A and B are shown apart, each in its own frame.
Chain A
Amino acid sequence: MANGQSSIKNEFLRGIRAELPILLGVAPFGMIYGVLAASAGFSLFDAQAMSSVVFAGSSQFMLVQMFEMGTPAIMMILTGFVINLRHALYSASIAPYTRHLSTLWKVILSYLLTDEAYAVAVMRYRDDEEITHKHWFFLGAGLALWTCWQVSTAAGLFLGAQVPPQWGLDFTLALTFIAIAVPAIKDRPSLLSALSAGATALLAWNLPYKLGLIASALVGIAVGLWSEKK
């Protein structure tokens, strides 16, 4: 293929460019994670390492909170797992497009499969079927997000103690989840799923170790499936 190389570079750069607007929202989120981790007593190294070892913002927020409350390790793992379960959905959605790739490519792209990289990559995959090398687009978008997440975590850790708690920056966690969840409510089953999960979370609030979150997820899924049948 004569234009193979230029097409690879082109797709890669396009991926980076498509991710840029989203980074505007991701950068503050990463900084706030850094600030919260520092104030929860994480060492700089541990907090920074978590951003590449776990690399999933919402579960990182939750881990920091639970760490501060002295939650047992097994409950932190279980809760983080439930929060990150949605990535299996992204995996299922992207899988038909990555079939032809080598195992190494699959491993790299899967590591980069966050909410924000998925959102951009899946749109490209649904574009014109004639376009080749779309996995380079995915790689560009994923690496742009990864870099932004690491840099903004470092910036947050650096600011750390200088941000007073009265600013209520932890509230951005709730706002970020509202920003992801509300647009995902598209029909009656997903609405009922959200409402029942939210109600269960309130009722089960007093259960230890955030077990209420796991109960809420199960109730929300069950109600969603049940209302789909009607």
Chain B
Amino acid sequence: MSNIWVVMITLGLLTFGLRLSFVLLLERWQPPDLVARALRFVPVAVLTAIFIPEILLRDGSFALLPLNPRLFAGVAAILIAWKTKSALWTISAGMAIFWLATWLIR
């Protein structure tokens, strides 16, 4: 079995375990208050920690305006997401702005 299958099966089981955790255990076990409150911040913290370097860094160094179409489109997408709360609008408009900016800069 190759390395990637070890990763896939382990992560698959862990992810399934996370999804099943409270659904299966809630009757017998109540999570400590701190855990319940900490969980609320997980999606926002993790997702922001992934997308911020994606739009700000290029090969490990800061890439600021106007030469970085990812930053330009990323900031636009943040504003669109905040205003519309629509995933479809954020992704499609963000991609269109990214392509336009790439084309203009080139």
> Using a CB–CB distance below 8 Å, which chain A residues touch chain B?
21-22, 24-25, 28-29, 42, 46, 49-50, 53-56, 58-59, 62-63, 67, 73, 76-77, 80-92, 94-96, 98-99, 103, 106-107, 109-111, 113, 167-168, 171-185, 189-190, 193-202, 205-206, 212-213, 216-217, 219-221, 224-225, 228
Contacts and interface: CB of A to CB of B under 8 A. Distances in A.
Contact of B46 (A29, A88, A197): A197
Nearest to A201: B49
B82 A183 contact: yes
B14 A84 contact: yes
A92 B39 contact: yes
A106 B47 contact: no
A197 B7 CA distance: 26
A189 B95 contact: no
A53 B23 contact: no
A184 B44 contact: yes
B11 interface: yes
Which 4 A-B residue pairs are closest in the complex by CB-CB distance? Answer: A220-B45, A216-B49, A224-B41, A198-B52
A91 B20 contact: yes
Interface string B1-38: 01111111111101110111111101100010010111
Contact of A85 (B20, B42, B77): B42
B53 A201 contact: yes
B81 A91 contact: no
Interface residues of B, number: 66
A200 to B, nearest CB: 7
Contacts of B4: 42, 46, 67
Nearest to A67: B4
B100 to A, nearest CB: 12
Contact of B15 (A24, A87, A96, A220): A87
A220 B49 contact: yes
A172 B91 contact: yes
B43 interface: yes
B47 A113 contact: no
Nearest to A115: B43
A224 to B, nearest CB: 4
Contact of B45 (A63, A175, A193): A193
